[in-house]
Amino acid sequence: MLRFALILLITALSVGVIAAFVFFDLGTFKQYLPFYKLRPLHVSASVFWIFTAAQGGLYIYANDYFKPEKESKTLINISSTIWIITTILILASFVLGNFGGREYWEFPPVFAIPILISWMLFAIHFFKMLFKKGGKFPVYVWMWSTGIIFFLLTYTEANLWMIPWFRENIIRDITVQWKANGAIVGSWNQLVYGTAFYLMVKISGDESVAFKWQSFFFYFLGLTNLIFNWGHHVYNLPAANWVRTISYVISMTEWIILINIMQSFKAKLSEAKKFANIIPYRFLLASEIWIFLNLFLAILMSIPAINIYTHGTHITVAHAMGATIGINTMILFASIFYIFSKYNNTFIQKNRIGINIGLWASNISLLVFWIALIVAGIIKGYYMVSQSMSFEISMQHVRPLLWVFAIAGVFLAAFLIFLSVILLKTKKQ
């Protein structure tokens, strides 16, 4: 499962680089490499990389944590086989030009059935172990459980458009679609952040932090945001005005998280000194820096007065890329390096220099990539909202920044692929 996840990541990155360059010369490529095929390939491979790597890690962590008397692999094997086959078929359907779904889930809707079946089997496996163990659970088990439950709920919600009542009112249709999409991201964040928390407990050896009320406070704050804070996607939609107001108010609670990160900066520094030589920790540390940067950007984008300039611009892309690469991918790399080091205790030592170069270079490339997108978004937002310029003219102003973004993207992809190859080449001892 983890190796398949890495192949998905390599696919997402390779297609992403091709798509970035096709963007500049569509006339030449539109018949052979059409953007309407490349974009869903890139997006879906990225989304499935996150879910597959998170799931793959969780199979191992859940077993380690719950320690079931009898390890049952049947459900897991069926679930992961369905998941992998469905993912391959989805990517193949994009190559063949078969669509039919909605943003992020553009594949023919029939694939929703095996995705849900696979996830339900995964959920049964997880909760069977959880209820058997019983007792008080650390916060990361709560986060994993939340991620599993909410993916089922929100992914089902993302498919409600198939019911005519939802589809026939365009405002309801768009609102529900983006309510679901926003919350799905929240659900995978719960899975991935739970993994980061678990890894931190394992690295530090301090389990007590996972039972502290402060940890639970931030977990519940995250869950509240998952449920209510998706409205920034549809601020400009003429839905009921309270939809925007609720989301705006809830999103402002994220300042608490941001302030907490700033307050714990000193403690983080001494922790970093202590664990700096542990490779998975380095990836976790990188993800924390990205959490800070992206959270700040997300809070600003959640203010309607700012959102009118950022909505529909490259700032949204910066937010998505910063979160999926800077946060999710860094945590998932930490997770896979951690797991692989358990099965092969020499590979990290052998590849230490390469891993460090890959980590630093990918993060520096990502920073350039991220800043280029933000500046492009600011320029586009300014010209389109303040100057009422047309899309075509605004895009001309943005073009030089998109070159910076594309070139930084090549380096970013190259170094992330380099890290993935190190992992793929690692054999179990």
Partner 1 sequence: MLLIKHYIYPIIFSLLIVSYVIFSATIYIFGSGNYQIKADEKVLAGQEIWQQKNCQACHQIYGLGGYMGPDLTNVVSDKNKSEQYLKMIIQTGTIRMPKFNFSEEQADQIMAFLKHVDGSGSTSVSPEKIDIFGNYTLAENKHE
Positions in the binding site for partner 1 (CB under 8 A): 23, 26-27, 30-31, 34-37, 39-40, 99-103, 106, 142, 146, 153, 157, 166-172, 174-176, 178-179, 216, 220, 223-224, 227-228, 233-241, 243-245, 248, 303-306, 308, 311-314, 317, 384-386, 390-392
**Centroid of chain to Cα 394:** 29
CB of 255 to partner 1, least distance (A): 13
Tallying the residues shown for the chain, one arrives at: 429
**Centroid of chain to Cα 365:** 18
Cβ-Cβ contacts under 8 Å for 70 (sequence gap 6 or more)? none
Residue of 373, 139, 277 lying closest to 381 (CA atoms): 373
Q: Which two tokens stand for residue 112?
A: 């929703």
- Residue closer to partner 1 by CB (options 15, 417) is 15
- Residue closer to partner 1 by CB (options 169, 346) is 169
Question: Measured between alpha carbons, how far is 12 from 18 in angstroms, rounded to an integer?
Answer: 10
CB of 220 to partner 1, least distance (A): 6
- 147: DSSP letter: H
- Cα(first)–Cα(last) distance of the chain, in Å? 18
CB of 19 to partner 1, least distance (A): 9
CB of 345 to partner 1, least distance (A): 37
- Using an 8 Å Cβ cutoff, are 126 and 133 in contact? no
Cβ-Cβ contacts under 8 Å for 28 (sequence gap 6 or more)? none
Neighbours of 264 (CB within 10 A): 12
CB of 51 to partner 1, least distance (A): 21
- Residue closer to partner 1 by CB (options 38, 332) is 38
CB of 319 to partner 1, least distance (A): 13
CB of 184 to partner 1, least distance (A): 13
- Residue closer to partner 1 by CB (options 25, 69) is 25
Measured over the CA atoms of residue 216, residue 259, residue 295 and residue 272, the dihedral's sign is negative
